[in-house]
Structure 1
Amino acid sequence: MKFSITLSAISKQLSEVASIAASSIVKEDITQNILINVTGNELTFKATNYNIELQTKIPVMDVVTEGETTVSANKLKETLASLDQNSDVCFDLIDDKLIISNASVSYEIRARSSKDFPTFEVDNIVQTIVLKQKQLKNIIESSSFCVSNEDFRDYLKGVRFELNGTKLEIFTSDGHRMAILETNLENQVPTENAFGAIITKKCALQLSKIVEENGESDVTLSFTKNAVMTTCNNYSLISKQIICGYPNVRTVIPRTIDSQISIPRDTFANLIKQVSVLSSKRVNGVTFNFGDGKVDLRSENSEHEVATATLPLPEAQTPIEISLNAQYVRDVLSVIKSDNVVFCFSQPMVHVLIKPETEINDCGIKSSYIISKVVV
């Protein structure tokens, strides 16, 4: 295998694919490597960690010989990062060495045969979900922060997709907060039966990277019994699903709203950040007292140090008190783009529902967030 290409033509794609390679403690685990294949005038990079596989295809014109091998993803990425991004780089496989060189520098990296490189077995597709690239990116960026990183309950470790007809609903939760998103899919073939699946957080975040933020073209998520896959913008991704039951989280969503208050988003977020400086590190709690045309914010730590702030809110006339994790509230405020947010309260006062003042955003997505109260 021998070919040459301008480094800038492969840097972004290589970085994305290399990020999938496993960081295994087993020294000879081949999933720490990235697979390189040249066939015709097409260069392929592929990596996997056994749970997710990502590959990209790049046109390459200067091919001397075709071939395939694998090399350490980290070494390849670090080696190429040290070179001039505008230089032409030659890749030359000689025996068990991959020689990488430009006009002034040369590296020899140990190569390993690709015969043991794992591949995903793809089952029959049972459901497809078709949405715009910008919709998918917005969905993931607006919900993935609620996914649990540590909880032993598997259903909290991913992003739940539920499709009924052409209506798509997304749920994420870590047990203390939940994101609820809803949209109607213009180009979706209506389902006869409701469909549900959970994709991993890593899969969701990788999908967000390979779709375009303002992309109007469609992307299709194809679901098999155990996996999800897509091809988009010269990337192909396959990932295992999280296979487990999913509870009826709709029971958490309040049926009636007793009180709702519109709040300027940026101003409120800044006050929460300032007041939470002295909050208890255990729960990071800030107490919100609404009423008399204002909201008072208060935090106190174990050393009885106190921070307070007040924000005038003409709508806040009914007395309401609730303590919330400050970071959870700030996370929600950071993904909502409307100038104002609406805090909705119901009895019993066990949580707050937060939503944008504009019900449906530019991507056609309706979103709301539930945060459970904390004891401070």
Structure 2
Amino acid sequence: MLKFIVKRSDFAKKLSIAAQAVGAKTIDPILQCLLFKPENGGINMYSTDMQTFVIARVETGEYEGNDMFAVDAKLLEEIVKNVDEEEILLNYDGGKLRVKSGKSAFSLTTYASPEKFPPIDIEESGVNFEIETSILHEMIDRVIFCASTETAMRALNGVYWEIKNGYLRLVASDGYRLALSEQKIDINAELDFIISLKSMKELEGLVSGASEPVLKISCDHKKVSVKAGDITTIMRVVEESFPDYKRVLPQAFKTRITFNKNEFLEALKRTMIISKRGNDKVQLEMIDNILKLSSISSEYGEVSEEVLIEKEGEDMTINFNPRFLNEAVKKVDEEEVVFNFVDDLSPMQINSRDMGGYMFIVLPVRA
């Protein structure tokens, strides 16, 4: 038997984070469950897909009983989201979990053998450091969209973490573009690893919803643990080597243009009306202080837009996938964006005027 009362607002938040780590398609039904287990004078909630583990301390006050139980995660999450009252009573007894809130009452079947739930190693070993929650959230947001969504590309289907020379760097690439974000941290160790895209999305959910100002991170060559108050996410490291991203970073530029972010995005948005109906390509032509964006569709017609720029170096014409430009420029916080060009065949670097600890690299497409 295990009986306790929770507050819906806090419980729903933790359920949402824990449920993200539940396996969507799995042979073993235990991996679709949340495990509730009395430990150290409180109740912990566990979830995993064997790649990511989540441990959340459930705020209950006093509780009765010492049994543990496992219940379908999505089912419990949906119930908690939809009950009306703030106070929820959970009462596990005889293989049934009774959930009562106000006039609502549910009786749920639980997993028969909760002891089969995979054990989670929470030993904090290896390299330890702290980082502001808002900073890590911003770093993840600036790179995660560039990670490959192809699960077969294991080295690129995730985010590369590099701890070196007192900096934390996050890098992601799908082979056509790259995003890098760095932050100085108080650490002397050196370490690098890859976290899968799925795990990174779950971590992003934890970080975006965390109320704690500082995160505690522990990492070694096998796993990474991120602790936000009473919620801990543990992620297995991908056993692959990330490509040498420094090789694609341009070293010198022939042309550099600076422009207003919103003016460019508005012009690009209109250009994409035609480009998405054509070859999904936009041409950038830089002459003097004008950037001309154009696209042609043999069936629907053509479009051209002009944006005022500051230009250093040579005139240039180059073609890009407009979606890659749009997604990268939107991540620049400052009003002014800088495009740096080597030539019409080499990767182009995107950054703010003052760099700001992040940059984006985009490969051109053939004319």
Q: TM-score, normalised by structure 1?
A: 0.90
Report SS of the residue matched to 1:343. strand
Match of 2:265 among 262, 265, 269: 269
SS in 1 for 2:218: strand
Q: 2:329 aligns with which of 325, 333, 338?
A: 333
Q: Give per-residue Cα distances to partners, 1:24-53, cap 9 Å, x unaligned.
A: 253x52101111224475232211011111
Q: Determine the C-alpha separation between the residues in 2 that align with 1:117 and 1:162.
A: 32
Q: Which residue of 2 aligns with 1:368?
A: 359
- What does 1:241-320 correspond to in 2, within 5 Å? 241-280=237-276, 284-303=280-299, 305-315=301-311, 318-320=314-316
Give the fraction of aligned pairs with identical amino acids, expressed as a percent.
19
Does the Cα contact within 8 Å between 1:283 and 1:325 map onto a contact in 2? no
Distance in 2 (alpha carbons) for counterparts of 1:223 and 1:233? 17
Give the partner amino acid of 1:2.
Answer: K
Corresponding residue for residue 204 of structure 2 = 208
Residue number in structure 2 paired with 1:15: 16
Counterpart of 1:198 in structure 2 is 194
Q: What are the within-5 Å matches in structure 2 for residues 128-143 of structure 1? A: 128-143=128-143
Task: Tell me the alpha carbon deviations over residues 248-282 of structure 1, each in whole angstroms, 9 at most, x when there is no partner.
Answer: 22111111122211111111112111111111568
Q: Distance in 1 between matches of 2:78 and 2:286?
A: 53
CA contact under 8 A between 2:285 and 2:292: conserved in structure 1? yes
Assess if the C-alpha contact under 8 Å between 2:256 and 2:340 holds in 1. yes
Q: Give 5+ residue unaligned stretches, structure 1.
A: 361-365
Contact 1:181–1:368, Cα closer than 8 Å, also in 2? yes
Alignment correspondent of 1:353: 349
- Matches of 1:213 and 1:3, distance apart in 2: 24
Query: Aligned residue for 2:101?
Result: 102
Q: Is contact 2:159-2:172 (8 Å) kept?
A: yes
Q: 1:16-31 counterparts in 2 under 5 A?
A: 16-24=17-25, 26=27, 29-31=29-31
Counterpart-to-counterpart distance in 1, 2:151 and 2:235: 21
Q: Which residue of 2 aligns with 1:67?
A: 67
Structure-to-structure mapping, 1:215-230, within 5 angstroms: 217-230=213-226
C-alpha contact 2:259 2:310 (8 A) present in aligned 1 = no
Question: Could you state the TM-score of these two structures normalised by the residue count of structure 2?
Answer: 0.92
Give the C-alpha shift of residue 317 in structure 1: 7.5
Q: CA deviation at 1:283?
A: 5.6
CA distance in 1, matches of 2:4, 2:278: 56
Q: Check the 8 A contact 1:137/1:213 in 2, yes or no.
A: no
Alpha carbons 1:97, 1:111 under 8 Å: kept: yes
- 3-state SS in 2 of match to 1:154: coil
Deviations 1:99-147 (A, max 9, x none): 1112311111111131111123468833334322222111111111110
CA distance, structure 2, for counterparts of residue 145 and residue 353 of structure 1: 16
Query: What RMSD in Å do the two structures reach over aligned CA positions?
Result: 2.3
**Contact kept? 1:291, 1:317, Cα under 8 Å:** no
How far apart, CA to CA, are the structure 2 residues paired with 1:211 and 1:122? 19
